[in-house]
Structure formats: structure tokens, C-alpha cells
Structure 1
Amino acid sequence: MTAGTIERPKRGDIIRYVYLFKSEQAQGRDEGVKERYVLVAGVIGNVYRVLAITTKGEKTKGAIKLPDPVASAAGLSNDSSIVVTEFNRFTFPGYDIRPLMDQPGYIHGRLSPRFTEKIIAELKARKATSVDRD
């Protein structure tokens, strides 16, 4: 799989999405502040779970910094981190998934299966909470 493919995103893929943080929801927002890259952490049928990717990880509680080679291979900046304390859940394609700006499709990049499993294990260990986006 390469960036820009039109296939449906799978676990480990990086896509663009308007992520709604739990803290934003608590303030009464029903839509995220901006589009950002997210990691597809799970797919069951048409139900997706995605994790926010941030470049402010050092300021975000519950974020795991991506090693530079992992970030680079996924097409992300070297200061990228993945938030593992919460996730958004939606039915594909949902209202908040965004196509890529410079090529067809949704998939920007991909984390290796091994690193994706490491992130999923952290998500489970921290008993992450969900924000339902349907």
C-alpha cells in the first residue's frame, strides 16, 4: 500500500480526520478544532477507532512520541506523538474523515504492524476512553 491509494483504511493506517478531544467535548464542542492525522487503531465491520497524532506531544498528557525513523516512514514529522488515553469512534466513512489534499484517497501513510501493536497495547493498558462521533 502506498500513500494516496483509494482503498479503505485499515488498522495501522494514517488518515486525515477532524478529531474531537474529550476535553473539547466536555466544553460543549461537537466537532474538533482542526483536521489532523490520526492512527486507525481498530476496525470492526464499519466501526472505526482512531487515535490523535499531535506535534505537541510533550505538552499532551498520555501521548507516546514516535521514534524519528517510525514517524518518517509513515510520512509524519519527527516531533509526532500518538495520544493513547482516548480515541474517537465512528462509522465509516463518517462526517469527519477527510480525503488527502494532494492525491486521491484517504491513506497518508502507515505504521508498521509491530509498532501499531505497541500503541494498541498502551491504549488497552491505560484504559482509554472513547468519544463517539456518530
Structure 2
Amino acid sequence: MTIPSKRSGPSSPRPSAKKQKPGSGAPKPGQVLNYSYLWEAEYREGRDEGVKDRPVAVVLVTQSVDGLDQAHVVPMSTKPPRRGQPAVEVPRIVREQLGLSAERSWIICDEWNRFAWPGYDIRPIRGREPEVSYGFIPAGLFRQVRDTMLAAAIGRPVDRDD
């Protein structure tokens, strides 16, 4: 993975549930977006777009050498993680605050997508159009996700811009 020379945005998520309008600048770490996530298995099958839109958490925002903001996102899923798969459960209160499904859900921490912001795969949230952001996960949950990703020592993201 090429390490960009310059990082953009704060190093930790904002604690508020403030919404971001489409095109209003780069997303922030901890922000939850509606996105057509491409699972690594789908990518290996030759797909170039995710099967469905889902919430994703922004874990990092970088800048490419040509100055484009790049978002690094991990998927949220109501499907329980596989045995031994690195994941962090999203507490019920957080799901409620973000307006997500009442079903249990997990942030999957062993793969991610990277894309130039705003990207073609950002989707309006059904019933909240044109909104694309659910808000932000709490800082403590963000740290859990970050630490779980680091412990998993995951490799390359599915790069959506290649």
C-alpha cells in the first residue's frame, strides 16, 4: 500500500452527531456514511461495485500525492462475524442515535475500501435524501475499531479508484 504524504482531517472523530451535506468537504474519521461497499470476496469475483448499500465507518482520510482526499472505510453488517473474524459490535444506543437498523450489527475490521472523495459509490440514505451521512460513532467505539484493525494487521484495501 502506498502511504500518502499528507494526512487530512483530525486524528480522532468528533463526538457529535452533526450531519454532513454531500460535497461539503472530506468526511471525518468516525463518520458513518451510506456506501456501496465492495467486499474483498466480491472484488476477487470480478465485481467493481458492491451488491448493496450499507453503512460504513470512515477510519482514515488521507490525501493522495495529487491532492485528492481519499476515504478509508470499514463495513457495518447485521450478519454476525465469522468465528475469529475481527469485528466490533455496535451498541444498541449508537445504532439508535445514528438511525440504523434495530438489529444487532458489527463493524468488520479485517478489510476496507479506499476511494477518492466524494466517490461514485456514496449513496443517499433512503428516506433522508439527499443526506449521505448518518452521523458519527462515539470516540470510544472509534478507538475500539482502530485498535481491532491494528491488532488484525490487515493488508491492502480494495482500492475503488484503480
The TM-score, its normalising length taken from structure 2, stands at: 0.74
Post-superposition shift, 1:93?
A: 0.8
Write 1 or 2 for the structure with the bigger share of helix: 1
Structure 1 or 2, whichever has the larger Rg, is: 2
**Which residue number corresponds to residue 32 of structure 1?**
50
Look up the match of 1:113.
139
Percent of aligned positions with the same letter in both sequences? 35
Q: Is the 8 A contact 1:11 1:43 kept in 2?
A: yes
Partner SS state of residue 158, structure 2: strand
Q: TM-score scaled to structure 1, two decimals?
A: 0.87
**What residue is the counterpart of 1:85 in the other structure?**
110
Q: Which residue matches 1:122? A: 148
Whole-Å Cα distance in 2 between the matches of residues 2 and 112 of structure 1? Answer: 9
Distance 1:27 1:11, change over 3 A: same
Point out the more displaced range, 36-45 or 7-16. Answer: 7-16
Letter of the aligned partner of 1:86 in structure 2? E
Deviations 1:85-110 (A, max 9, x none): 00000010111111233144321121
Please tell me the root mean square deviation across aligned C-alpha atoms, in Å: 2.0
Structure 2, unmatched stretches of 5+, are 1-15, 64-68
| In structure 2, distance between residues paired with 1:55 and 1:37 | 10
> How many residues matched?
134
Match of 2:160 in 1: 133
SS at match of 1:56: coil
1:12 and 1:88 mapped to 2: Cα distance? 15
Q: State the AA in 1 paired with 2:148.
A: E
**Aligned equivalent of 1:74:** 98
Q: Alignment partner of 2:99: what SS?
A: coil
Q: Which residue of 1 aligns with 2:77?
A: 54
Deviation at 1:58, TM superposition (A): 4.3
What residue is the counterpart of 1:97 in the other structure?
122
Point out where structure 1 has 5 or more consecutive residues left out of the alignment.
none
Mapped partners of 2:18, 2:80: distance in 1: 24
